[in-house]
Structure formats: structure tokens, C-alpha cells
Homo-oligomer: A and B are copies of this chain.
């Protein structure tokens, strides 16, 4: 790392944006964007790569994904409002990708919040995918970068959500400890407070939430428990030419 003049004791910023709609207000000078959709798109993406998927092409519409149903070497995945879209075998459940049969394939995926957020931020210099499943690997890689970092939460139907912002706080907490990164935004301070309140028990903060009822209604409890598990893999998905690929420097879990 080249020596640079320090401003306010740190060299780069790490900030949190709570909502995709707010991205334009936070995007300036942010070279690296981490897209976060814990329940469940980015957890599913990380899981897919951990199990040998080669590429994930995020698409905006169900129709784009539908064109890939049945094509050799492709998995078509579509989720809307928490459910697999009719006609598809895959949605955004990470558990579906924990299978040897996915190895070597290309996933074409559309989800309610996650893929839209990727599309919004695709102009960033580097766009990577975050989840609790790759928390430590991602945080370590981010800490090595000489750039400002924006942690971009996908939210839920346009609203703030607790799991994305708490995860952002977890990444932020690690980056601030390096002394290399600092923060400027109130949202970043809030995310760190949320993480400090929740860190003893990620599941606890969500159990206390009425959201839990929605999770149970959708029979997603197994998914939610898995999505809130830290460090299952060290893969870091990165966007290259419109497709997510596992970063070459990462070791994949077999």
C-alpha cells in the first residue's frame, strides 16, 4: 500500500446505505460496492459458488430467466415475494444450491430485491457480494483494498431491514478496527450500533422482530438460520462483464 496523507486519522471511508433507492446519494467516490441481501439472494449466491457454480448472471425480469429453463449447463432461478416463480425449480433459497449437481453450471437468477440492487450498482469499479456466510473472507479482502467502500443493503420491498443493516455493521466494525477506514455518514454509525446490540446473538435480534412471523409463515426458518451463520465459505463473488464469478484469489469450499 502506498503511503498517503491521512485525513482525520484514516485513509478511506466505509459507509452504509440502507436502501437501494438511496444509492445515488451515497455512491459518490465509492470505488467498491458490497451488495447485501441476507434473506436471501446474496446468501444464495455465495452458497452456489461455494458448491461449484461457475457463473451467476443476475437478470431483472422473470422472462429473461425463463429463457434458460432446461438449457444444458444452466440453472434458471426466479423468486418474487419470497416464493419460487411458477415453472422454475430454483428460487432464492440457498439450501437448494447445497447440492453436487450444481457444480460447473451457470445460474441465471432474478430476485425481488437482490438482483435489482446489483443492477443499480453495476457501474461501481468493483461490485462484490456479501453475506454472513462469507463475512470473514469478505472483510479481510475489503481491508486490503485501497479504496472507499459502500455497503449497500437491498432492504425489503423498498424498506429498511434489520438483517442487511446489522450485517453491514458487522463488516464495518471489522474495517474500522484496522484504523485504515473511517466513516462519515449517520447511517454508518447507526449500523455499527445495531451490530453491537446484536453481535452476541444474530438470531436473537431477528427472533425479537415481528418479521419472525413472516419468516415462519413462509416456512423459511431453516433458510434464515443458515443465512445468519457466519463463515461457511471463503468465496467472494465479484461482478465481471455483467456476470458474478468467484474471485480468483478465493479458495472454494468443496
Contact = CB atoms under 8 A, between A and B. Distances in A.
A22 interface: yes
Interface string A146-188: 0000000000111111100100000000000000001111110
A119 interface: no
B186 A211 contact: yes
A165 B205 CA distance: 18
Interface stretch (A192-200, A225-233, A237-245): A192-200
A186 B158 contact: no
Contacts of A193: 193-194, 197-198
A197 B193 CA distance: 7
A210 interface: yes
A236 to B, nearest CB: 26
Given A18-B18, A193-B197, A156 B209 contact: no
The interface size bin for chain A is 20 to 34
A190 B191 CA distance: 9
A123 to B, nearest CB: 20
Interface in A38-96: none
A99 interface: no
Q: Kindly name the residue among A26, A158, A186, A197 whose own CB sees the greatest number of chain B CB atoms within 10 A.
A: A186
Contact of A186 (B21, B160, B190): B160
9 contacts: A22-B158, A25-B157, A156-B186, A159-B186, A160-B186, A160-B187, A185-B210, A186-B211, A190-B190
A1 interface: no
Nearest to A16: B160
B186 A209 contact: yes
